[in-house]
Each structure stands twice: as structure tokens, then as C-alpha cells.
Amino acid sequence: MGRLLLLNGPNLGILGRREPEIYGTDTLADIEKAVAEEVAGRGWTVHAVQDDSEGTLVRTVNEHPDTVGAIVNPGALMMAGWSLRDALAAYPRPWVEVHISNIWAREAFRHESVIAPLAHGIVVGLGAYGYRLAAQALLHLADD
């Protein structure tokens, strides 16, 4: 039985009440449940971590190289999360970057992700459903 790593960065713990016109009304618990449902058929479980601190996310990546893959929504760390980028560069499994909003339809400072060049794929602008799509991609990419 494999475990999927689900990482969410700063401010994503308040989904559901954070700017619902941009991020929707699904909570992080709703998203975690949806991802778990998506991968259950493969016998995978989900190890979900949300933290507003980059150091905690880095530690999580480094402590879980044995997971089957990862879904990563770095939040604002996409723009300056260099230590998270380095941790993901050393992560030995496929991973997908997810953004709930369409980052390219927003402010210019959101248009470049420092971690995206390392990702196996990126899902943007499809709301919470993007996490399900990322899970489906990992079901295809992972060699568990």
C-alpha cells in the first residue's frame, strides 16, 4: 500500500473562507478527502501536510522519500521558495504542482514559479478540482 504526499503551503489552511471569489468554497479538508477518494482504488492513502512555514514543508519532503508521489500547492512559496525547490529537486518520485486560481490571469508577480521547472506537470486555474486531476496524473506516473 502506497502513500501519496499532499503538501499545501501558506494560507491554504484557510481555504473555504479565504477570498472565495478566487479560491472557491471548498475547504482543505474537502480537498484532502477528494484526493483520498481519487487514489483509494489503487490502495493508496494520503499523507497531507499544510503549513505556513517553508521549513516545515521542506522537512516533510525530506522525511517522506518513500511516498509514491506528491501533489504540491506551494502557495506564495512558488515565487521565492528556494529551499522548498531544493527539497523537491531531491525528491525521488513524480510530483505535480497545483494552483487553484489561474496564476497567469492574476497579478504579474504570480506569473513565475521557481519550482515549476522541476514538476512533472502543473495544474492551474481549475479550482479544487485541479487536485483530483493531479491525483489522476500521479496514478498514471507513479511506479509503486
- H/E run at residue 70: strand 69-73
- Tell me which residues are annotated as active site: 23, 99
Neighbours of 4 (CB within 10 A): 28
Cell of 7: 503538501
For cell 512558488, the residue is 78
Per the CB < 8 A criterion, the answer to whether 93 and 120 are in contact is no
Of 4, 17, 2, 8, the C-alpha closest to 97 is: 8
